[in-house]
Amino acid sequence: MQAASARLGRAALRELGGHGNLRQPMSAHPSFIQASGLSMHYAVGTRRVNVLREVDLQIEAGTRVAIAGPSGSGKTSLLLLLSGLERPTAGLIRIDGIDLAELDADGLADLRRQRIGIVFQNFHLLPSLSALDNAALPLRMAGDGRAREAAAAMLQRVGLGDRLQHRPTELSGGEQQRVAIARALVHRPRLLLADEPTGNLDGDTAASVRELLFGLNRELGTTLVLVTHDMDFAARCDRVLRLHDGQLQETAPEPARALPA
């Protein structure tokens, strides 16, 4: 889990800027995310480790989907595949009607820059940059002259309008995660992938981040796919999918526990 999360963070930060314009058409398919026969395995010495085995998945635009399962079950690996940061061993993935197998590395980077935002458990903020410049990074690397203006507006939206010039070390864990959310959404992506976004936060802070993500999901119409061990978080989603032994199963969301008064 930690290794997969680290790969997700490093690769996405390297490629925030993209390389050009994605020329693929918008989706004519009924599902925003389509995956069929999706398999992934790693070689560990002479042993083959099956992470995912013939997974089928369809997610409609604007849906909130939680992916749950024990540590090491392949949840983060599935996010890596959906973001195009890893290639499957077998199977098909379409995002917004675009077949990821038809894109080279530059095309995948463009897809992420234009249509996908990623929130990490460990924030992955650049320590030398202010909150404003961290949030503006995707647009600045894309050459958008209004990057800082857009970032300031998004930081205001996540409740950090008075912390624009603070560096990560001057922010609490919850504030750093809000900066990371602003960075993931500053380019108004159609898909937000979140890897344990409340995993390193205390209970009250986690609750506020949950409310923020769901509020932005409603406001922006973003499709939200999140990995979580927090079943209260999962219960607020439209769908809950569980990964076990490389297989994906749909389960009914459990009622969320009432919060203390």
Domains of the chain and CATH, by start: 2-250 (3.40.50.300)
| Buried-state track 228-240, b at ≥16 Cβ within 10 A, e below 16 | bebebbbebbebb
Q: How many CA atoms lie within 13 A of 224 on its CB side?
A: 30
- 197: pLDDT strictly greater than 60: yes
Does the pLDDT value for residue 65 go beyond 90? yes
Query: Phi and psi of 96, rounded to 5°?
Result: 55, 35
Residues 6+ apart with CB under 8 A from 104: none
> How much is the average pLDDT of 206-211?
88
Average pLDDT over residues 49-58: 93
Q: Is the pLDDT of residue 115 over 90?
A: yes
Q: What is the mean pLDDT of the chain?
A: 87
Q: Is the dihedral of CA 23, 28, 31, 35 positive or negative?
A: negative
pLDDT at 261: 40
Q: pLDDT digit string (tens) for 67-107?
A: 999 888 899 999 999 999 999 999 999 999 999 999 999 99
pLDDT score of 198 more than 50: yes
DSSP helix/strand/coil, 83:
helix
Whole-angstrom Cα distance, residue 106 to residue 94?
Answer: 17
Nearest-angstrom CA–CA distance, 167 and 159: 16
pLDDT at 49: 87
Model confidence, pTM: 0.85
Q: What is the pLDDT of residue 201?
A: 86
Name the strand (E) or helix (H) holding 157: helix 147-157
Percent of the chain with pLDDT over 90: 64
What's residue 122's pLDDT?
Answer: 87
Q: What is the pLDDT of residues 6-30, one digit of tens each?
A: 555 555 555 554 444 554 444 444 5
For residue 239, what are its two tokens?
A: 């769908």
Q: Residue 176 and residue 169: Cα distance in Å, rounded? A: 9
- For residue 47, CA distances in Å to 22, 44, 78, 157, 175 come to 38, 5, 21, 48, 42
Q: Tell me the pLDDT tens digit for each residue of 129-167.
A: 999 999 999 999 889 999 999 999 999 999 999 999 999
pLDDT of amino acid 120: 86
**Distance (Å, whole) CA 235 – CA 159:** 25
How far out from the chain centre does Cα 160 lie?
21
> Which amino acid, residue 33?
I
